[in-house]
């Protein structure tokens, strides 16, 4: 009986240590260093390198631990000055990013301001913090986000706010994954696979941004990870991380929100914002259905633009169409509401629209961009999604 208990305990321990990610293990190496147990730290990093021989940052830490036995260290990554400093700097930044993320994981009631509402089909949403080089995975817990995983990521060499093709920056905005490119269709450079996102989206085009080919992807087989700023704009994850993330992604559905520095909020504030916007959306639906076209058009901003139509053209068209209707019924379903990072109150709303009227009925997936003008939410873009 007692032997069994010990066995169970041992198994628990084995499975717990097997579940530890390389990053967690690196973190325990630093813990040992801080506790001045350098022998323990060296053993841990040796074991880590044994399992992940391409983890360059672990080699750097190992180098320091060995050198510390020979002479006092001057700095982290104590290599001689003749080596290309940008390579050392890249690893130092990776170490900082990984440590900071591991030690400053957001608490239970700290949520990104962006994920206002997920529809029931969306199982997850991804939120990237560029300053932290971190990707957070939120599960859809009854429409509300819940943090379940986070990963170190590499972003564009020149940072964020992509505007031009070839600027080697990562875009900031609200996107979703559009395809799954399996490993066998790609070169080794992309590692375990790739998931393109829909940059440039409607909002980017409206701002005149261009470029293409922003993907989530893995790393070449000769590395475990890459420095924080190294890609041409893509979001790059370690191959094991990409594999586990990939299992959660739904093509065309999973949102990818990229922020410079995530704006955090609490659950109550998030819910109040969500409710305010949901009410505006419901009013828009009801006013459309009422065939009171002026009330309906009052939901649109003067800055509205869509498919070459400005507000005046859009209003004229809607007045003409609605006047011909004896009745209209509008149903909305599967509503997603995602706030745009670093914009003043811009929310991307996506839903399934069930439109019926005398003469025309259709069901479509629609996307609107709502902005707050004064105290009121208004639509600046509307189109098929």
Partner 1 sequence: MLNSNAPRDRPRGAVILLCALAFFLGAPARADEVQEAQKLLKAGQSQQALERVNRALAANPKDPQARFLKGLIFTEQGKQTEAIEIFTKLTQDYPNLPEPYNNLAVIYASQGQYDKARAALEQSIRTHPSYATAYENLGDVYAKLASQAYGKALQLDASNTGAQNKLSLVRELVREPGIKPAAVAAAATPKEAPKEPAKPPVVAQKSPEKPAAAEKPAADARAEVLKTVNAWAQAWSKKDADAYLAHYAKDFKTPGGEARADWEKGRRSRIGAPKSISVGVESAKVTMRSPQQASVSFRQTYRSDKLSTKSRKTLELVKADGRWFIKEEKAGK
Q: Which stretch binds partner 1 (CB under 8 A): 80-88, 228-236, 253-261, 348-356?
A: 80-88
Do 145 and 336 form a contact (C-beta atoms < 8 A)? no
Residue 87 as a binder of partner 1 (CB under 8 A): the answer is yes
Give CA–CA dist 56/71, Å, rounded: 22
Output the smallest distance, CB 84 to partner 1, in A.
8
Residue 62 as a binder of partner 1 (CB under 8 A): the answer is yes
Do 170 and 159 form a contact (C-beta atoms < 8 A)? yes
Nearer to partner 1, 63 or 276 (CB): 63
For residue 152, the number of C-alpha atoms closer than 13 Å in the C-beta half-sphere is 29
What ranges in the chain are assigned the alpha helix state H?
2-19, 22-34, 38-51, 56-70, 85-103, 202-206, 239-246, 267-290, 293-297, 311-323
Give CA–CA dist 226/366, Å, rounded: 38
Output the smallest distance, CB 231 to partner 1, in A.
17
Site for partner 1 in 116-135 (CB under 8 A): none
Nearer to partner 1, 97 or 349 (CB): 97
- Name which position in 24, 39, 263, 294 contacts partner 1 (CB under 8 A): 39
Nearer to partner 1, 57 or 126 (CB): 57
Handedness of CA 138, 117, 211, 371 (dihedral sign): negative
Q: Beta 124-129 vs 229-231: how paired, if at all?
A: unpaired
Do 115 and 125 form a contact (C-beta atoms < 8 A)? yes
Output the smallest distance, CB 217 to partner 1, in A.
21
Residue 40 as a binder of partner 1 (CB under 8 A): the answer is no
Number of Cβ within a 10 Å radius of residue 17: 11
Q: Which of 295, 300, 322 is nearest to 310 (CA)?
A: 300
Residue 291 as a binder of partner 1 (CB under 8 A): the answer is no
- Name which position in 7, 8, 66, 364 contacts partner 1 (CB under 8 A): 66
Distances in whole angstroms, Cα of residue 152 to Cα of each of 82, 99, 236, 241, 330: 29, 10, 9, 9, 43
Q: Which stretch binds partner 1 (CB under 8 A): 50-58, 139-147, 156-164, 236-244?
A: 50-58
Residue 88 as a binder of partner 1 (CB under 8 A): the answer is yes
Number of residues assigned to the chain: 385
- Name which position in 4, 5, 80, 384 contacts partner 1 (CB under 8 A): 80
Residue 89 as a binder of partner 1 (CB under 8 A): the answer is no
Residue 82 as a binder of partner 1 (CB under 8 A): the answer is yes
- Name which position in 64, 129, 273, 382 contacts partner 1 (CB under 8 A): 64
Q: How many residues bind partner 1 (CB under 8 A)?
A: 25
Residue 255 as a binder of partner 1 (CB under 8 A): the answer is no
According to DSSP, the residues that pair with 382 across neighbouring strands are 368
Nearer to partner 1, 59 or 372 (CB): 59
Number of Cβ within a 10 Å radius of residue 222: 9
Nearer to partner 1, 87 or 157 (CB): 87
- Name which position in 32, 48, 60, 118 contacts partner 1 (CB under 8 A): 60
Nearer to partner 1, 91 or 379 (CB): 91
Distances in whole angstroms, Cα of residue 255 to Cα of each of 177, 189, 195, 204, 337: 7, 25, 12, 16, 10
Give CA–CA dist 7/19, Å, rounded: 18
Nearer to partner 1, 88 or 186 (CB): 88
Residue 79 as a binder of partner 1 (CB under 8 A): the answer is yes
Nearer to partner 1, 56 or 169 (CB): 56
* Chain positions contacting partner 1, by CB under 8 A: 39, 56-60, 62-67, 69-71, 77-80, 82-84, 87-88, 91
């Amino acid at each position: 009986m007692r032997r069994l208990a010990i066995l169970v305990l041992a198994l628990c321990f084995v499975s717990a240590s097997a579940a530890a990610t390389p990053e967690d293990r690196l973190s325990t190496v630093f813990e040992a260093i801080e506790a001045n147990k350098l022998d323990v730290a060296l053993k841990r990093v040796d074991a880590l390198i044994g399992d992940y021989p391409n983890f360059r940052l672990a080699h750097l830490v190992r180098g320091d631990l060995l050198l510390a036995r020979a002479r006092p260290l001057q700095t982290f990554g104590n290599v001689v000055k003749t080596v290309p400093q940008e390579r050392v700097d890249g690893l130092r930044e990776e170490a900082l990013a990984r440590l900071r993320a591991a030690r400053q994981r957001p608490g239970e009631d700290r949520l990104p301001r962006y994920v206002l509402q997920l529809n029931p089909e969306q199982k997850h949403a991804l939120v990237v913090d560029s300053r932290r080089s971190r990707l957070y995975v939120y599960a859809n817990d009854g429409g509300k986000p819940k943090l379940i995983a986070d990963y170190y990521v590499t972003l564009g060499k020149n940072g964020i706010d992509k505007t031009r093709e070839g600027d080697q920056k990562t875009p900031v905005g609200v996107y979703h994954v559009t395809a799954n490119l399996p490993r066998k269709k790609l070169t080794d450079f992309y590692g375990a696979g790739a998931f393109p996102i829909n940059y440039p989206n409607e909002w980017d085009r409206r701002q005149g941004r261009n470029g293409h080919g922003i993907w989530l992807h893995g790393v070449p087989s000769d590395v475990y990870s890459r420095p924080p700023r190294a890609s041409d704009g893509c979001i790059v994850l370690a191959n094991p991380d990409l594999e586990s993330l990939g299992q959660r992604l739904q093509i065309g559905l999973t949102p990818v929100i990229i922020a410079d520095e995530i704006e955090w909020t609490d659950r109550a504030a998030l819910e109040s914002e969500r409710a305010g916007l949901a009410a505006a959306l419901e009013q828009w639906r009801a006013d459309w259905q009422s065939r009171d076209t002026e009330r309906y058009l009052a939901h649109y901003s003067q800055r509205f633009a869509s498919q070459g139509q400005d507000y005046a053209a859009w209003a004229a068209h809607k007045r003409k169409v609605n006047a011909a209707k004896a009745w209209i019924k509008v149903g909305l379903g599967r509503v997603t509401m995602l706030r745009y990072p670093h914009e003043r109150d811009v929310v991307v709303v996506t839903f399934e629209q069930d439109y019926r009227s005398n003469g025309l009925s259709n069901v479509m997936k629609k996307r609107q961009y709502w902005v707050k003008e004064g105290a009121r939410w208004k639509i600046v873009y509307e189109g098929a999604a």
